[in-house]
Amino acid sequence: MSLIDVFLRRAVKRGELILHRPGKPTVTFGRPEPGFGAIVLRFTDTGVERAIVRDPGLGAGEMYMAGRLQVDGDDIWGLVHLLTANDPWEAGAQHLVASRLVRAAGKLRHRVERINMERRSKRNVAHHYDLSGRLYDLFLDRDRQYSCAYYTDPANDLDRAQEDKLAHIAAKLAIRPGMRVLDIGCGWGGMALYLHRKLGAEVLGVTLSEEQLEVARARAEEAGVADKVRFELIDYRRVEGQFDRIVSVGMFEHVGPAHYGQFFQQCRRLLTENGVMLLHTIGRLGPPGVTDRWTTKYIFPGGYNPALSEIVAASEPTRMFLTDVETLRLHYAWTLRAWYERTVAARDEIIALYDERFYRMWTFYLAGAAKAFEHGGLCNFQLQFSRSRTELPVTRDYMIDEERRLRG
């Protein structure tokens, strides 16, 4: 019995995984169970098995991208669901974790890669966010929000959930008309434009993506608010001035643990004495860890999802008040499901933009990420900080009332 057989017998108990390999008999792992479909997996050559045994996460991803690991119906979503649903984070079994040797190498590599210096930061951002704008049009919502949506109802469509996300965050910022707001990692400008349109704020959005900057500026010009909503290509460490509010959505994952302290010190310096900050980031439910190798190699070089303990420890020396913490558990799973479905629907156009290997990479990324939120150890954190003990109300009622008002 090969190592892959040993692994799959341990990993698949519920549902069926049927494996075809050259020169070996077909093997079925698991048993039928409602809610778990039968997945047919095919290895086209003997090298596939060696690659997966050597490093399961990296090997499986690369073999799928190359078309050497195949799933009947191209159902990579079903395969990832079967494996992760059999190994939920809360059960603590960790069947899908790489070997000790691979994990040790990953930790060493993580220590080097997490030093996210300014030049490397811009290169890392460009690797992902300066892809074709048409790609993002195909799978994101109409406002191009490339971060976790907020589902007040799981049945809501993606556009509604992303609009509700903006309201959910804006309500926590307690913005009054005329306030100056800094949006760190502003994406394509959706949050900044929303805060001005809905709350009358003057906003500066900063990004390291040239493609995002171009789109965000064009949107502000088109809306006739370029004098009130400005966008700059600048690292957060180089921003100057004072702001009543700071918001950062989906950017902290690129800061790197070595710079968390610097990030919070800079935010405190930029906030007025009564300033408030809202940080929205992907996080890990357990203790600090490392980013899997496939993700850092192909999707987010230099990326790392922090544990809550890392965020809090880095913020404590600033003497800002941590005034609210919220953990979003399933919202990103639902968001990624919508992105995956839109990507599959746009298969031919995405292959025309890039090639089939890219399409396979993108679907593997979206399916794996979705299931990491549904069954694995990922979540989203929203942390609210204030420099003042008294700027914000002492109960959370204001957030709820304002969010309902903004959602109309």
- DSSP 8-state class, residue 145: -
**Conformational region of residue 250, where left means phi above 0, alpha means psi within -120 to 50, and beta covers everything else:** left
Residue whose pair of structure tokens reads 């007040």 in the numeric block: 152
Instruction: Find the domain containing 388 and state its range.
Output: 115-407
Residue 120 shares a structural domain with residue 209: yes
> pLDDT tens digit string along 280-308?
999 999 999 999 999 999 998 889 999 99
Token pair belonging to 325: 């913490």
Residue 187 shares a structural domain with residue 242: yes
When pLDDT is averaged across residues 253-264 and rounded to a whole number, the result is: 96
- Amino acid at site 258: A
Whether 230 is in a domain gets the answer: yes
Residue 133 shares a structural domain with residue 237: yes
Could you tell me which of 171, 166, 175, 172 has the C-alpha nearest to residue 142? 166
CATH of the domain at 135: 3.40.50.150
Model confidence band, residue 125 (pLDDT cutoffs 50, 70, 90)? low
Q: Which helix (H) or strand (E) holds 325?
A: strand 321-328
Whether 103 is in a domain gets the answer: no
- Structural domain tally of the chain? 2
> pLDDT tens digit string along 50-84?
999 888 889 999 999 999 999 999 999 999 999 99
Whether 107 is in a domain gets the answer: no
- Amino acid at site 251: M
Whether 225 is in a domain gets the answer: yes
Strand, helix or coil for residue 21: strand
Token pair belonging to 50: 């060696």
Residue 227 reports pLDDT greater than 90: yes
Would the pTM count as exceeding 0.75? yes
Token pair belonging to 108: 């060493």
CA gap 195, 181 in Å, rounded:
9
Q: Across the chain, what does the average pLDDT equal?
A: 92
Residue 389 shares a structural domain with residue 337: yes
Domain boundary among 32, 66, 97: 97
- DSSP 8-state class, residue 271: E
Residue 383 shares a structural domain with residue 276: yes
Domain boundary among 63, 97, 131: 97
CA gap 32, 218 in Å, rounded:
53
Whether 313 is in a domain gets the answer: yes
Residue 272 shares a structural domain with residue 394: yes
pLDDT of residue 244: 98
Residue 250 shares a structural domain with residue 315: yes
> pLDDT tens digit string along 13-47?
999 999 999 999 999 999 999 888 899 999 999 99
pLDDT of residue 50: 92
Token pair belonging to 318: 């600033």
Residue 265 shares a structural domain with residue 140: yes
| Sheet of strand 180-184, all strands in order from the earlier edge strand to the far edge | 229-233, 202-207, 180-184, 243-249, 271-284, 378-386, 321-328
Q: Long-range contact list for 120-123, CB < 8 A, 24+ apart? A: 120/302, 121/208, 121/235, 121/254, 121/302, 122/208, 122/235, 123/301
Whether 254 is in a domain gets the answer: yes
Residue 335 shares a structural domain with residue 192: yes
Residue 142 shares a structural domain with residue 196: yes
Residue 359 shares a structural domain with residue 224: yes
When pLDDT is averaged across residues 94-98 and rounded to a whole number, the result is: 59
Residue 386 shares a structural domain with residue 321: yes
Whether 395 is in a domain gets the answer: yes
Rg (CA), the chain: 22
Residue whose pair of structure tokens reads 């965050």 in the numeric block: 169
pLDDT of residue 282: 98
Burial class of residue 145 in the structure, from the number of CB atoms within 10 Å of its CB (0-12 exposed, 13-18 middle, 19+ buried): buried
Token pair belonging to 296: 């850092």
Residue 52 phi/psi, 5-degree rounding, is: -70, -40
